[in-house]
Structure 1
Amino acid sequence: MAGHAYKILLFMKKRPDISIEAFRDYYETRHAPLAETYSQGVSRYIRRYIDPQPHPETGAFTDGPDVITELWFEDEKIYRATLAYITTSLMPDEIVADEANLFDRASFRIATVVEHESGRG
């Protein structure tokens, strides 16, 4: 992508009573399409599902998110307005109600990204 890409990352855990398969299926077939209706100005909406792997020194990876959702923006004004909204306001009631079907909402974390890529070759 030429120029700047502005990104908001959402780190989220599934509800403990839902299987990984059911969580991913619901997110893709129900929640993502609903969220897209509220996502004007988002140029990419990516869900990165985490498959934890053990580490030889620290053991199991049990405290991380189940999904990292990326919201990409090409327009800085829309990015800043979206960031201000999601860090100071609750989502619309329809989104909050649907999130309760699959997420542990207390686990939500939000971050932004500045990328630096090393050259290849």
Structure 2
Amino acid sequence: MPYAIALFVSRKPGVSIGEFKDHWENKHIPLLKSIVGKAFPLTHTRRYVARVESGAGDRAGVTPASHRRAPSAAPVVLGGDKNEVTWDGFAELVFRDELHFQQFFALVNESEAAARIQQDEERFADASNFKVVVIGETICTRND
């Protein structure tokens, strides 16, 4: 049975959204793959919060009166409080099973590997706002 975790990652202060994404994609993921090798997850899907400057809200038909006053880097929030979106991207890591996850987890927590990963994360991410959650039951509804 697949085993999944979710990561919620925020930019380090002073790092632009573009720099954050570029570092995660082009430096951090290759580093992680080099450390864990075959224990890399089956999938490591990263999703980034849409920002006002992207026009995502306009395309979705969301144009509140305050839209014009929103900072260009503000998240596009369709419901709820935009101030509660304290992360810039999230990832879902899917493993074959719990044993596969445990192998990955052991490798990333070896002292040398953990130090390399932490040092790299400090270049683009805010460790104080980092969250990792084990995903439980998943139910998918399809439009059949």
Q: CA deviation at 1:68?
A: 0.7
Q: Which runs of 5+ in 2 are unaligned?
A: 51-74
Query: Aligned residue pairs: how many?
Result: 116
Contact 1:47 1:69 in 2 (8 A): yes
Which residue of 97, 104, 108 maps to 2:119?
97
Q: Distance in 2 between matches of 1:55 and 1:97?
A: 35
Q: Distance in 1 between matches of 2:120 and 2:141?
A: 39
Contact 1:47 1:70 in 2 (8 A): yes
Q: Distance in 1 between matches of 2:27 and 2:10?
A: 17
1:117 equivalent in alignment to 2:140: yes
Q: Distance in 2 between matches of 1:110 and 1:64?
A: 14
Superposed CA RMSD:
2.5
1:75 equivalent in alignment to 2:74: no
- Give the AA of the match of 1:44: T
Q: Distance in 2 between matches of 1:109 and 1:27?
A: 16
Q: What's the secondary structure of 2:15's corresponding residue?
A: coil
Higher Rg: 2
Q: CA deviation at 1:60?
A: 2.8
Q: Distance in 2 between matches of 1:83 and 1:33?
A: 17
Between Structure 1 and Structure 2, the one with more helix by share is 2
Q: Which runs of 5+ in 1 are unaligned?
A: none
Q: Distance in 2 between matches of 1:49 and 1:55?
A: 15
Identity in percent = 25
TM-score by length of 1: 0.78
Superposed, 1:1-121 pairs within 5 Å as: 4-39=1-36, 40-41=38-39, 42-51=41-50, 52-55=75-78, 58-82=80-104, 92-113=114-135, 114-121=137-144
Contact 2:11 2:88 in 1 (8 A): yes
Q: Distance in 1 between matches of 2:118 and 2:9?
A: 14
Q: CA deviation at 1:75?
A: 2.8
Contact 1:15 1:103 in 2 (8 A): yes
Contact 1:14 1:103 in 2 (8 A): yes
Distance 1:84 1:32, change over 3 A: closer
Q: What's the secondary structure of 1:37's corresponding residue?
A: helix
Q: Distance in 1 between matches of 2:114 and 2:81?
A: 39
